Structure 1
Amino acid sequence: MSVLRLSLLMFFALTTAAHGQAQQEPSKVTDVWLVFKTHFDLGFTDLPANVFARYREEMMDNALKIIDENARLPKEKRFSWTVPGWPLSAQILGPLQTPERRLRVEKAVREGAIVAHAFPFSTHTESLDYEDLVRGLGFSSKVARTYGLPLPISAKMTDVPSHSWVLPVLLNHAGVKFLQLGCNPASQYPRVPPLFWWEGADGSRILCQYTALYGSEIKPPVDWPCRNYLGMIMTNDNEGPPTQKQLDEILARTTRDLPGVRIHLGTLDDFARAVLAENPKLPVVKGDTPDTWIQGLLSNPEEAKIARNIRPLESALDGLHTQMKLWNIPMEPVSEKLAKAYEQSLLYAEHTWGMNAEYGPRYSYGDDWKKWMKEAEAEPVAADGDYSKLPNSYAKNTEKGSKRKWLNSYDEKRRYIHNAGNIVNEELSNHLNLLARSVGIGGKRMVVYNALPWPRSGLVEIPWEKGKYFYAKDVPASGFVAFTESQVQDYTPTVDTQPSFDTPHFKIVFDLNKGGISSLIEKSTGRELADKSSGYVLGQFLHERFSSNEVDTWFNAYSRIKEGWGLNDLGKPGMPTADKLPYKAITPANWHIKVSHSAAADIATLISEDTEGLAKKYTMVFTFPRKAAYVDVEWFVDSKTADKHPEGGWLCFPFAVKSPAFTIGRLGGPVDPAKDIITGTSKYLMAVNSGVSVTQADRSGVALSPVDSPLISLGEPGLWKFSMDHVPSKPAVFVNIYNNMWNTNFPLWQAGTWSEKVRVWGVGTHSATMSNLVEGAWDARLPLLTGFADGQGGKLQSQKTGVTTSRSGALVTAFGENPDGPGVIFRLWEQAGESGEITVSLPAKSAFKSATPVNLRGEPTGSRIALSGGKFSFPLGAYAPASFVLE
């Protein structure tokens, strides 16, 4: 999402004025490095295809013009333009570039006049999974390797105010030395020093400059701690490079205002090398900075679900393909398709989700909005995306084109994750069914595949009996077991309508007024897991309709710009006042229950049509496996009603935990919200990678993993809330399942039919919190997978073990063709917080002889390790990755 409205020269004037008084005092700065970049938005200013065309053509021509004009100057005075890795690799140097322009761009790249930093673009970082982030570094690496250049040692993201603390871990283990982050100028931002070491959960550090604007002020602040200073000069959203006139004026002003200071035109890497050579003494900041724009993910709830489900399956497909080849099953290569899936997943995580809302019905509500929608839906669609060719009555409805064009911009964004999902799901289905055909069992059969590197059991749906389940026991690590039809037949279930019943693990009582569990007693301990003093019950669906009071309170607390574009983009101008539409909390009533009891599971289905106009129908399904102590809670909506008025939906989980301590399984490492979140970032709503544990003094409690939606609030629902010092105190977790909070370029309403699942389980007094959370959450997020076949069998054994690790809690995020060079890449990422020696056992009879340690961009970092019996051992730090090229 982008909301910047400052021109380059206005930015220069404002930042100069802002520090005029401070600069009357002496500064230690001797060298200023001016780095030029434009802010890349995937589709904010236009449809993505049109943005890409501008980068390939107009922007490149303008950049090459100023590069040519500066070619005869001394090297430190030559203009260079910094761009993100993906647009340079995939677009500017991609297959749609003209041969003539490509030659000029290639020359500029080789000479260092056009430079890629390490990141592909700005992302909603905490929405991703580990391997997506690693593959994102590959675009700039590819450019560097293609043109014989060193890999970039600097990275830059702009606009998104804050990011998961996976970044220092990711960048440090990739050989990147410096990170520049620039905030959207209206948003709140992490309160950190201007230059500091950012430390991740594993102890990795990255040199970081954080600025409260897109770039950094050209005049150094008086407290700048180094002799070298970075002036990060940004042009507007997708605006392109400065003109020669603008460049000359900037240089003249900088020279005038900073007498005696050496001025360098260069790159982020130039600055990084200069400042690191000083070996400065800088503060260390260890903490997480949750994204204050992360609510935007659930403006596309169906696509958020696809993204959360498909990203772990990318790694699963990679490992399954490699192991099937080792099991001598003939396979077509999958690396190109997998690379495309990773790219499409990354593009969905890029921070712009559609065109600027000022070209849509931003100010329309109620009947006015319905009229706008009716007109938009009546407009024709430009199949080629060129809406300028439509009749003027449509093409000129808004400054940027037709209303239909604005609507379609959101479909363009959604298409990325649908593309990734289609690729991975199709390939996984083909692989699993081929595996089933290959086992030496005839007749109707299924294989159950475990993509995790530790053995487990689990509930799976029988492929030929939809709605019936089978409990697959002891599926080997990264391996499979084949089952015949006779082995998996389920007993015919019995059905009743009793709102209370027992399972082998729980005593359960349902509240049919609120549609959830009012009592959940764990039989092994006798503990009550549901908080009976809460106003909510476990699994309850809550819909909030917000008033102007909540919106205004949040806006006044959060936005640094109170008028103009700040109000338009972050507020909700035009909405009815609270006296006309007050806040309302809605939970459907009159739930009807049906309970199915079988040998595999007890399943309670609750249905309500008492929806107050919010949808056609709601369904809640609570699944209790008979051989596992957890409950899956799944919410279904039938035909949700679209509404542009601010709203949000939640699944509520109040737990019976005294004086609760929260452990949030975040991307990069666990977070204690009482001490690990940096002030100025999101404390009410954030994305989780694994899940949340809520425990008391004896370490017992309850854990939860949101399978389909990553967004959670602790203690209370967290939409339209911002605080510098909030710490949750109530033992409750709320999973957000949709919202239309943002007003800039996220969808402004949600409609349709979809589902959301959450898994809940008890935590025992002797459990290690993180290992329990990691194993339980990844069992939910990456469930056992099934393949189906019928007829003649093959020659493969009916059970095989794949990659195994000597301890659980470390994910295999890559096991396949090396994207950075020859060989097979193997990557683990520790999740459970355990440091020490770990042994990896590769599939039996694999031909690998050695493992060479490499960083996350494929550069060797240590001596080759000889494999013995298909095994190798190495130290693995808590929350750290480890990568090897197998040969």
Structure 2
Amino acid sequence: MTMKPEKIYVVFKTHVDLGFTDLPSGVVRQYKERMMEDVLNVCEATAANPPGHRYVWTLPAWMLQQCLDEPDAERRARLEQLVQAGQLIWHALPFTTHTEFCGVEEYMRGLYMSEELNRKYGREVIAAKMTDVPGHAWMLPSLLAQAGVRFLHLGVNACSAPVELPRLFWWEGPDGSRVLTWYSAGEYGTSLLPPDDWEYPIWFALLQTHDNFGPQSSVVVQELLDDVAAKYPDAEVHIGTMDDFARDFIARGYDDIPVIAKDLADSWIHGVGTYPPEVAQVRGLRYDLASAESLLATQPKPDDAEAMRHIAKGYEQTLLFGEHTWGIDVKSNLLPGRPDGRAFWTRDIAKDRAAFPDSYRKAEQSWEEQRDYVRTARRELAAAVPAPGADAADGMAVTVHNPLPRARQFAVVDLGEALAGGRLVDPATEKRYPVDAAGRAVIDEIAPLETRALLWQAGASGEAKLSACDTAFRERVGAAEALIENGSLRIRADGASGRIVSFYDKRAGKEWAAEGGFGEYQYEVFGKTDILRFVKRYAYDLRDWYVNDFGKPGYPRIGGRLFENGDARTELIREGGRQQIRILYGTDPESRGEFGNAATAELVVTLDGEASHADFEWKLAGKRETAFAEAGYFVLPLNVGGPQYRLQKLGAVVDPVRDIARGANTRLHCVDQWVDVTGEDGSGLAVFPLDTPLCSIGEPGIFQYDEAYVPEEPVLFFNLFNNQWGTNFPQWIGGDLAYRFRLQPHAGDWKAAGLEAAAEELRRPLIAARGEAAANRPLLREPLRDVRWLAVKTAESGEDAVVIRWMNATDERRETTLALNGDYAAVIRCSGVEREIAPLEVRDGRVTLAMRPYEIVTLKLCRS
């Protein structure tokens, strides 16, 4: 029996797709022009209504910022009047994201957008909304809590399999933070009236129009008031914001709300595999932007405000790439006028393209606009911190910065090929650092967050080598084995077949390579039955658009095929302290003729000096575009008993067997920095995927869905590319592709192995910039351990202060002591969006904080 509601909170919204219904540029223009005119009309038409009965429209923070950036002063004033009156409002998130794909600091910068509006208009928004995407990373409630968010609504696409969750629950992040979460399975919002099983006296009616549809008309207000009065004449109706409901509901202190501490893994995440080069670049740009900002913030100059704006714009662009809409609605562009469905065979596509050139052009243009986010982010980074190689001149100043809170020994800095063959000179000590032929130099030691002012001198190529070893040879291997080894690892390849037959950890006496193609590349084409099986298994409801969006209408009745590599040519290379096995494979003629495989596939396995890790790189040359459903994999069958798996996802470490909620994606994971497998014998193997984040365990995860899944075989499949989606993402992928992986055996679990520190060393090398550094001391006088360093930036408040942010990189409570190298007027603990919380006691330059597992800490260091 339904409890009669005392109060119904009504919120009006539309689902924002940055694309899908039009090109992203067209969608933004639609909101800024026609849609804002509609909002002005409906809001002004109801402005005379009593409070609580006026039309109020909610937008994501980023889109509202775009709409308020209005050159017409009169129109801007009308819009801002609506904001001041509370009729045009924002929620705390910038837009809907594929959250698993995002970076921790990058996501935090998205929350800054709402905070900027809070400061400008004197509000404190505490509610957030995402629509369409079924699931999100476990770290999300922890990130939202950092911005003061207490309520989250997740509305799921009508036909996508939802996560098995209660309608309302406290979602507890890995640091223990909780956000009240409303999960609407099968609908974007909620109904006007509560269902029969609703037990509380207030109801949240989220009335949401569909994709970029815009606001309702002004008559909707009276219609809903009449509808509520007809059934519940005593109920109060309050038209307003998500915050209104959240504050009222949370204040009532209900103690029967369940707590869910799980990862709601995204079952749409396969879409990340449709832009291989751009995904690789975005993953690198996140770290490069943080490093560049660190250099700027620790070297304040009068003109750095503009450089910081470039960094902020760069973060905005990488986050926009993670927005959930990655292209045009394919069914609206490539299906009309085609009664038999889309074209798939190469010859048929050529005919179809000739008959419908505009539809192909618009689809491909939408994919290019998605790539533009990456191009723009790269330009913003280059504008903020110019590379040292531009207009190289003998004696020019070069700044080198260590962006980590730990000292680095013998760390490589990449100066670019323009400076190759020269040397860096420290004018203070006259120490010389040769630059090798690839433009790299080795700095013997640099302190935590230290910046060095060096000079570049040309013409010193005789010194340019990264190793004292002079031996160099290149040997082509036929039927014999190719062997590389050092004191830690021994790697063998069969020269004839090109198979890696051994990956041996000498320290542990452990062979990791199992039979089945360790380190191989595989190419798969899916059959019609594969697609149909997935569509049926994944469906929460069956509608015609679902079959078109999630399937591939007109797909030929072909069977699925798995193609392995063909003939191999193997080379063994030793040059300086570097050893490499290079294997060039042919590919199956049918796989590249009828379908989309690469013309050649090359594997390079590298062992540098006495490193305890090896680097694998796959280079796929001349991959053909195909509309057939396809995927490529880097495969690692492992020789391990009783494996325990851990995935580092958006800052938190997840057990894929225990930590993922039922109904979420158990088949394909989007990792940030590493995947780890530890056996019952205590030996472990970590894999750091630099360029692709998608990983499956046991078997490939493309066109797979299970409500629950436990891997049976210890095999890792890293997805290199796929075009599983039938809409909204590129339908064909081509060109030259490259993927890098670091494999690092270790003893003990991921914490004992220090995988977070290893990942930071790999991902955040020394950064170089053109220009002379100001004289300064390193920010820290002692290193920080077991932390993930997120940001060093200037304060948003504009005061003379630097903001630093890091997170506990472990699942244990611990204390962290910050030893500051300098005097500060105050050290203030802040929220993740820089709201001041409390000043901290500083003793002898030290600040000690107790940290929860995976907790994020933000401090403001005030210089005056």
TM-score by length of 1: 0.87
Task: Within 5 Å, give how 1:490-569 maps onto structure 2.
Answer: 490=467, 491=470, 493-498=472-477, 499-512=482-495, 515-532=498-515, 535-537=516-518, 539-569=519-549
Shift, 1:375, TM fit: 2.9
Shift, 1:224, TM fit: 2.8
Task: Within 5 Å, give how 1:725-740 maps onto structure 2.
Answer: 725-740=708-723
Tell whether 2:165 aligns with 1:185. no
Shift, 1:100, TM fit: 1.7
Shift, 1:71, TM fit: 1.7
Counterpart AA for 1:815:
V
Tell me the SS of whatever aligns to 1:137. Answer: helix
**Aligned pair partner of 2:284 in 306, 309, 313:** 309
**Aligned pair partner of 1:118 in 65, 69, 92:** 92
Shift, 1:449, TM fit: 4.3
Gaps of 5+ in 2: 336-341, 421-435
Aligned to 1:366: 345
Aligned to 1:826: 804
Shift, 1:810, TM fit: 1.6
Provide closer, same or farther for how the CA distance between residues 304 and 372 of structure 1 changes in structure 2, counting only shifts above 3 A.
farther
Tell me the SS of whatever aligns to 1:657. Answer: coil
Q: Structure 2: how far apart are the matches of 1:628 and 1:470?
A: 18
Provide closer, same or farther for how the CA distance between residues 402 and 411 of structure 1 changes in structure 2, counting only shifts above 3 A.
same
Provide closer, same or farther for how the CA distance between residues 853 and 298 of structure 1 changes in structure 2, counting only shifts above 3 A.
same
Conserved? CA contact 2:10–2:240, under 8 Å: yes
Tell me the SS of whatever aligns to 1:237. Answer: coil
Provide closer, same or farther for how the CA distance between residues 142 and 459 of structure 1 changes in structure 2, counting only shifts above 3 A.
closer
**Aligned pair partner of 2:367 in 410, 433, 453:** 410
Conserved? CA contact 1:186–1:566, under 8 Å: yes
Tell whether 2:583 aligns with 1:606. yes
Conserved? CA contact 2:295–2:451, under 8 Å: no
Tell me the SS of whatever aligns to 1:334. Answer: helix
Conserved? CA contact 2:793–2:802, under 8 Å: yes
Counterpart AA for 1:63:
V
Conserved? CA contact 1:462–1:488, under 8 Å: no
Task: Within 5 Å, give how 1:299-338 maps onto structure 2.
Answer: 299-325=274-300, 333-338=306-311
Q: Structure 1: how far apart are the matches of 2:781 and 2:662?
A: 41
Q: Structure 1: how far apart are the matches of 2:686 and 2:129?
A: 36
Conserved? CA contact 1:226–1:278, under 8 Å: no
Counterpart AA for 2:112:
G
Task: Provide, for residues 45-92 of structure 1, a one-character-per-residue CA deviation record: whole Å limited to 9, x for no partner.
Answer: 112222122212221221122212222222121111111100111x21
Counterpart AA for 2:291:
A
Tell me the SS of whatever aligns to 1:75. Answer: coil
Tell me the SS of whatever aligns to 2:227. Answer: helix
The alignment-based identity, stated in percent, is 30
Tell me the SS of whatever aligns to 1:769. Answer: coil
Tell me the SS of whatever aligns to 2:62. Answer: helix
Conserved? CA contact 1:851–1:867, under 8 Å: no
Q: Structure 1: how far apart are the matches of 2:318 and 2:158?
A: 28
Q: How many residues of Structure 1 are paired with residues of Structure 2 in the alignment?
A: 816
Tell whether 2:32 aligns with 1:59. no
Q: Structure 2: how far apart are the matches of 1:70 and 1:788?
A: 57
Provide closer, same or farther for how the CA distance between residues 477 and 257 of structure 1 changes in structure 2, counting only shifts above 3 A.
same
Tell whether 2:710 aligns with 1:710. no
Task: Provide, for residues 390-424 of structure 1, a one-character-per-residue CA deviation record: whole Å limited to 9, x for no partner.
Answer: xxxxxxx59xx653122211101110122112322
**Aligned pair partner of 1:344 in 294, 301, 317:** 317
Q: Structure 1: how far apart are the matches of 2:604 and 2:766?
A: 20
Task: Provide, for residues 194-218 of structure 1, a one-character-per-residue CA deviation record: whole Å limited to 9, x for no partner.
Answer: 1110001111110110101100122
Counterpart AA for 1:177:
R
Task: Within 5 Å, give how 1:379-398 maps onto structure 2.
Answer: none
Provide closer, same or farther for how the CA distance between residues 558 and 459 of structure 1 changes in structure 2, counting only shifts above 3 A.
same
Task: Within 5 Å, give how 1:80-229 maps onto structure 2.
Answer: 80-89=56-65, 91-94=66-69, 96-147=70-121, 149-212=122-185, 213-229=187-203
Q: Structure 1: how far apart are the matches of 2:669 and 2:308?
A: 33
Aligned to 1:774: 756
Tell me the SS of whatever aligns to 1:414. Answer: helix
Shift, 1:108, TM fit: 0.5
Higher mean alpha-carbon deviation, 33-42 vs 725-734, is at 725-734
Aligned to 1:77: 53
Shift, 1:656, TM fit: 1.8
Q: Structure 2: how far apart are the matches of 1:259 and 1:284?
A: 34
Aligned to 2:602: 619
**Aligned pair partner of 1:286 in 241, 261, 285:** 261
Conserved? CA contact 1:512–1:589, under 8 Å: no
Provide closer, same or farther for how the CA distance between residues 462 and 120 of structure 1 changes in structure 2, counting only shifts above 3 A.
closer
Q: Structure 2: how far apart are the matches of 1:144 and 1:329?
A: 28
Q: Structure 1: how far apart are the matches of 2:372 and 2:442?
A: 35
Aligned to 1:453: 405
Task: Provide, for residues 706-736 of structure 1, a one-character-per-residue CA deviation record: whole Å limited to 9, x for no partner.
Answer: 1111111112111000001101232222111
Q: Structure 1: how far apart are the matches of 2:732 and 2:491?
A: 36
Task: Provide, for residues 212-262 of structure 1, a one-character-per-residue CA deviation record: whole Å limited to 9, x for no partner.
Answer: 110012222333343222111111111111012333323322332334322
Aligned to 2:249: 275
Gaps of 5+ in 1: 1-24, 377-396
Tell whether 2:829 aligns with 1:853. yes
Higher mean alpha-carbon deviation, 132-141 vs 460-469, is at 460-469
Provide closer, same or farther for how the CA distance between residues 472 and 585 of structure 1 changes in structure 2, counting only shifts above 3 A.
farther
Conserved? CA contact 1:622–1:633, under 8 Å: yes
Tell me the SS of whatever aligns to 2:576. Answer: coil
Aligned to 1:295: 270
Q: Structure 1: how far apart are the matches of 2:389 and 2:774?
A: 13
Higher mean alpha-carbon deviation, 102-111 vs 507-516, is at 507-516
Counterpart AA for 1:601:
R
Shift, 1:864, TM fit: 4.4
Provide closer, same or farther for how the CA distance between residues 795 and 650 of structure 1 changes in structure 2, counting only shifts above 3 A.
closer
Provide closer, same or farther for how the CA distance between residues 803 and 743 of structure 1 changes in structure 2, counting only shifts above 3 A.
farther
Counterpart AA for 2:354:
E
Provide closer, same or farther for how the CA distance between residues 650 and 448 of structure 1 changes in structure 2, counting only shifts above 3 A.
farther
**Aligned pair partner of 1:701 in 668, 671, 684:** 684
Q: CA RMSD in A?
A: 2.8
Shift, 1:670, TM fit: 0.9
Conserved? CA contact 1:315–1:812, under 8 Å: no
Tell me the SS of whatever aligns to 2:27. Answer: helix
Counterpart AA for 1:222:
D
Shift, 1:635, TM fit: 1.0
Shift, 1:829, TM fit: 1.9
Aligned to 2:433: none
Conserved? CA contact 2:484–2:579, under 8 Å: no
Tell me the SS of whatever aligns to 1:140. Answer: helix
Higher mean alpha-carbon deviation, 549-558 vs 331-340, is at 331-340
Aligned to 1:382: none
Conserved? CA contact 1:37–1:234, under 8 Å: yes
Tell me the SS of whatever aligns to 1:701. Answer: strand
Higher mean alpha-carbon deviation, 132-141 vs 217-226, is at 217-226
Conserved? CA contact 1:699–1:769, under 8 Å: no
Tell whether 2:221 aligns with 1:247. yes
Conserved? CA contact 1:470–1:600, under 8 Å: no
Task: Within 5 Å, give how 1:680-699 maps onto structure 2.
Answer: 680-699=663-682
Provide closer, same or farther for how the CA distance between residues 800 and 860 of structure 1 changes in structure 2, counting only shifts above 3 A.
closer
Shift, 1:781, TM fit: 2.5
Provide closer, same or farther for how the CA distance between residues 460 and 522 of structure 1 changes in structure 2, counting only shifts above 3 A.
farther
Shift, 1:182, TM fit: 0.4
Task: Within 5 Å, give how 1:856-871 maps onto structure 2.
Answer: 856-866=832-842, 868-869=844-845, 871=846
Provide closer, same or farther for how the CA distance between residues 875 and 373 of structure 1 changes in structure 2, counting only shifts above 3 A.
farther
Provide closer, same or farther for how the CA distance between residues 185 and 444 of structure 1 changes in structure 2, counting only shifts above 3 A.
same
